[in-house]
Amino acid sequence: MARIIGVVSGKGGVGKSVTAVNLAIALNKMKYKTLLVDADLTNPSVGLHLGLVYGGIGLQDVLNGESFEQALVVHSTGLRVIPSSLKYDEKASLKNLKKTLSSLKNYDFVVVDSPPGITSDVSSIIDSCTDLVVITTPEIPAVTSAAKILSLSRKSKNDFLVVNRSTGAPYEITNSEIEGITETSILSVIPEDKSVMESVGLKIPILLLKPSAKSARSLSKITSSIAGKTDSVVEETSFITGIIASIKKILGFN
């Protein structure tokens, strides 16, 4: 049975979708059979992060009875993706998500990108998952929202708390304060990194664009911890540097 990892946040704008996409990319690079599901039915962004062309069928259609295979999109890395449709479908309900995901037999990991906030849809996602990765930033509104999410799932799942976009500024909440408010140990802290915004603009996940960037290294270590691995998927050369090295080798410059 697949481990179903929900990536959630109580507040928008904390980097939840970026984390979900890169977590799935990292698991796929570690040779796990991985499926990424965009469960944000009203404001989907997974396909945009990956530069995917949206088809006519998405998660909404799957929830309404269509097969997974009809909605499946394959990224250039081989990662399997079920995007949500950009069209609004008021009939689609995530109440069917648990049954839908439990039918998947061919994957090691299913990563579910959740909408932000604490809504009935988010509750359905929490109920559908075996693991939760809760994303927060080191600020009071985000941390208190994360604490609420964690209180909904505590003692029933593997919870992982990740602090994103940390700068170490004196006005940010400290790690010990975050752990005190949420009553949860922090798995990892991802530093603020301008490369992430570049990767979003280029529609290339940071782990592919600049795998040696500080944020990519953190995301790699997070994935290894969640997967129970001690190795890391970070490569020392960047995506572009790797291409240049390959061209030089072909031309006989190495």
What is residue 187's three-state secondary structure? strand
Encoded amino acid at 233, one letter:
V
Predicted local distance difference test score (pLDDT) of residue 252 = 53
Encoded amino acid at 117, one letter:
G
Q: Which residue has the higher pLDDT, 98 or 154?
A: 98
DSSP 35: E
Predicted local distance difference test score (pLDDT) of residue 249 = 46
Least confident of 78-82, 84-88, 118-122, 193-197: 84-88
What Cα–Cα distance (Å) separates residue 184 from each residue in 20, 132, 143? 20, 12, 11
Per the structure, how many domains does the chain have? 1
What is residue 146's three-state secondary structure? helix
Count, residues in the chain: 254
Predicted local distance difference test score (pLDDT) of residue 109 = 97
Which residue is it, tokens 């004196």?
A: 170
Q: Which residue has the higher pLDDT, 15 or 93?
A: 15
Predicted local distance difference test score (pLDDT) of residue 254 = 47
> Cβ neighbours of residue 153 under 8 Å, at least 6 residues apart?
126, 132, 159
CATH number, domain containing residue 26: 3.40.50.300
> Cβ neighbours of residue 239 under 8 Å, at least 6 residues apart?
204, 208, 209, 210, 211
The pTM for the full model equals: 0.89
Interval 6-56: pLDDT, tens: 999 999 999 999 999 999 999 999 999 999 999 999 999 999 999 998 778
Predicted local distance difference test score (pLDDT) of residue 248 = 43
Return the closest-CA partner of residue 79 out of 56, 103, 113, 102: 113
Predicted local distance difference test score (pLDDT) of residue 83 = 95
Interval 228-245: pLDDT, tens: 975 556 544 444 544 544
Return the closest-CA partner of residue 190 out of 169, 220, 211: 220
**Domain enclosing residue 133, as ranges:** 3-251
